[in-house]
Chain A
């Protein structure tokens, strides 16, 4: 009796709305699986476990990219977690709409990703919890399933440089960046972040320039 009919209905609405996105997310998962095992040296189960627990494309690609470049473990972890810091305010925005005890809310919180959050937004600052969970669940299955296919396919591929796979990372990050440039301030932070990173490349181990680029976000403290 936990699910009254309206909630089941909204869950299903979430699944249906997310279905086209799930195809894209699944294919995105395939590319993560391929790159993680071919360029970053991840064991296949490690790549799949990462998709199950982290469930955040940009952070996973960032960690894999730093490892592929021979960067430090700490830099890979820091870069990924800084990218996921946006989930603190996103989680706060939906918190009032997630019911249940702490353990249940913890699990529901895991299904909040950029896409499910957007699908659940009612447009007035409130969120539909059924749609959020339905969409999040479908996207999680697509992301993890895509990763499994990717690691299996990736292990069959050869030398990544010959295939041009090393050009896949910058292309991916560019695609994700374009979606983030929603304001003049975001564009300024992006230009500043790239400049900080490039200026440090010759002086620090790989990965550190990316973590240092987070300092560009401090322009958010400047009053408009």
Chain B
């Protein structure tokens, strides 16, 4: 089995269990406040880490390249309240253009 299939099966099964935990196991009982306080911050912490590494990491090195220009374009698109797909396309076009013009690797 390829690594991608392993990821698909493990994440799929794990997520189904996570989503069912409340409705099936917990009933209506609330989570301890400490647990919900930490869980609420997982998404912002991980998404910020993903922004940072997807922009600057290349293998095990930090590099500045056209992806940073793409991210800048995405930020502008978000400020203009563009829909997510438009934000993504703008970023890809900006990075592609920067490479085509030789502005950034």
- Chain A residues near B (Cβ < 8 Å): 24, 27-28, 30-31, 40-43, 46-47, 49-50, 52-56, 58-63, 65, 67, 69-70, 73, 76-77, 79-96, 98, 102, 105-106, 108-110, 112, 161-178, 180-181, 185-187, 189-194, 196-198, 201-206, 209-210, 213-221
Q: Which residue of B lies closest to A81 (CB)?
A: B14
Contact in complex: B31, A43 (CB < 8 Å) = no
| 23 A-B pairs with C-beta separation under 8 A | A73-B6, A73-B7, A76-B11, A77-B6, A87-B21, A88-B21, A89-B39, A93-B22, A94-B22, A96-B27, A109-B23, A163-B92, A164-B92, A164-B93, A170-B50, A170-B55, A171-B88, A174-B78, A198-B57, A202-B61, A205-B60, A209-B49, A219-B41
Residue pairs across A and B with CB atoms within 8 Å: the count is 333
Chain B residues bordering chain A, tally (CB within 8 A): 79
Sorted nearest first, the 10 A-B pairs with minimum C-beta distance are: A91-B22, A167-B70, A164-B96, A53-B12, A193-B45, A213-B49, A171-B91, A167-B95, A220-B37, A171-B74
- Per DSSP, chain A at the interface is helix
- Chain B residues near A (Cβ < 8 Å): 2-8, 10-16, 18-24, 26-31, 34, 36-57, 59-62, 66-67, 69-71, 73-75, 77-78, 83-85, 87-88, 90-99
Contact in complex: A46, B91 (CB < 8 Å) = no
Contact in complex: A95, B26 (CB < 8 Å) = yes
Q: How far is the CB of A83 from chain B (nearest CB, A)?
A: 5
Contact in complex: B11, A77 (CB < 8 Å) = yes
Given A49-B12, A65-B50, A214-B42, are A201 and B96 neighbors across the interface (CB < 8 Å)? no
Q: How far is the CB of B69 from chain A (nearest CB, A)?
A: 8
Q: How far is the CB of A24 from chain B (nearest CB, A)?
A: 6
Contact in complex: A169, B54 (CB < 8 Å) = yes
Contact in complex: B37, A91 (CB < 8 Å) = no
Q: How far is the CB of A140 from chain B (nearest CB, A)?
A: 12
Q: How far is the CB of A181 from chain B (nearest CB, A)?
A: 6
